[in-house]
Amino acid sequence: MSLLVVGSVAFDAIETPLGKVERTLGGAASYFALAASHFAPVRIVAVVGDDFTKKEEAAFRGRKIDLSGLERATGKSFFWSGRYSLNMNERTTLATELNVFADFRPTLPDPYRDSKFVFLGNIDPTLQRSVLQQMRQKPKVAALDTMNYWISGTPEALRQALKDIHILMINDDETRQLTGEHNLLRAAKAVFKMGPRTLVIKRGEHGALMIHEKFIFSVPAFPLEEVRDPTGAGDSFAGGFMGYLASVGRINDKTLRSAMVYGSVVGSFTVESFGVERLASVTRREIAARARHFSKLTAFRL
Ligand code: AMP
């Protein structure tokens, strides 16, 4: 089934203890779309500047990614730069240059307006809501990501956006900040009152936790000997998660659990290289093999 993503398409400069890149394709929507396209066709809504050439576009070509909603504006593309600590657990943002992203008003091409699955990447909650308002009918599943900047800066707009959301995907700090609850189970109950009936908490090297009204499910991060660049792991997780759900088209206890595993598997490939390189080269067969490995990793009998 059709899957739409709105978010940033960017150039990133990244420095980790294992290397450095000056300018590579980045942005939440890029990671999401590449990850999800391993499972289902994806429609991107984003903006880039005139420095985004055919060369950058090539990363999306030849895949099930529809770029008709990728707007071209005059000026520079969004640029983000970050540096990771020695243990890679902390990240310092060195630069955020919004450029053409500052005036971004997402506009859905007509065929996008019937998308059944929608992922609202981390942008202004008013714009996230405007995407849902442009839909011809309510999507089967709408998921949303946000960050501390919007939670503290525009809380009312975020509350409004959350009303029509099924799945909220954020990290533990953001969960606590949004709800004022330290305990994540209590925080989930507060989230349920805001709209979403499922909370997916991304926990970096500790994996991810899904709290649904009726069940809880936890997945680890796939153990890797070497993590080269954690950038985009969360967006790749979201892409694998939503891409899998869109591919099966059904939402239930079983498909939500599998979506968590595919999210974690795809995220684990992303961090093996800088930028989107490994995410773009991984095959469906490698994803399937790692997912099987995952099931052994977590299986036990009582
Ligand atoms: P993650 O590692 O999952 O937080 O995602 C990192 C990606 O998010 C990078 O590729 C950045 O280009 C992008 N990014 C960083 N800051 C922002 C922002 N304020 N709004 C939208 N995208 C951003």
Domain assignment present for 9: yes
Domain assignment present for 128: yes
Q: Which percentage of the chain shows pLDDT scores above 90?
A: 97
Domain assignment present for 300: no
Structural domain harbouring 197 = 3-294
Q: How many domains does the chain have?
A: 1
| Mutation choice for ligand 1 from 101, 122, 273, CB with most ligand atoms inside 8 A | 122
Domain assignment present for 253: yes
Contact 29, 46 (CB under 8 A): yes
| Per-residue pLDDT, 163 | 98
d(CA 30, CA 41): 14
> What confidence tens digit (pLDDT) does each residue in 232-270 have?
999 999 999 999 999 999 999 999 999 999 999 999 999
- Å from CA of 260 to ligand 1 middle: 21
What residue owns the CA closest to ligand 1's atom 12? 27
pTM to 2 decimals? 0.97
Mean pLDDT of the region 87-109: 95
Domain assignment present for 110: yes
Domain assignment present for 299: no
| Per-residue pLDDT, 89 | 87
Domain assignment present for 156: yes
> What confidence tens digit (pLDDT) does each residue in 60-91 have?
999 999 999 999 999 999 999 999 999 998 99
What residue owns the CA closest to ligand 1's atom 15? 80
| CB 235 less than 6 A from any atom of ligand 1 | yes
d(CA 173, CA 91): 14
Average pLDDT, the chain: 97
d(CA 251, CA 232): 25
Give the CATH number for residue 283.
3.40.1190.20
> Could you give the count of Cα atoms lying within 13 Å of 263 in the half-sphere of its Cβ?
29
Domain assignment present for 301: no
Contact 50, 253 (CB under 8 A): no
> What confidence tens digit (pLDDT) does each residue in 123-171 have?
999 999 999 999 999 999 999 999 999 999 999 999 999 999 999 999 9
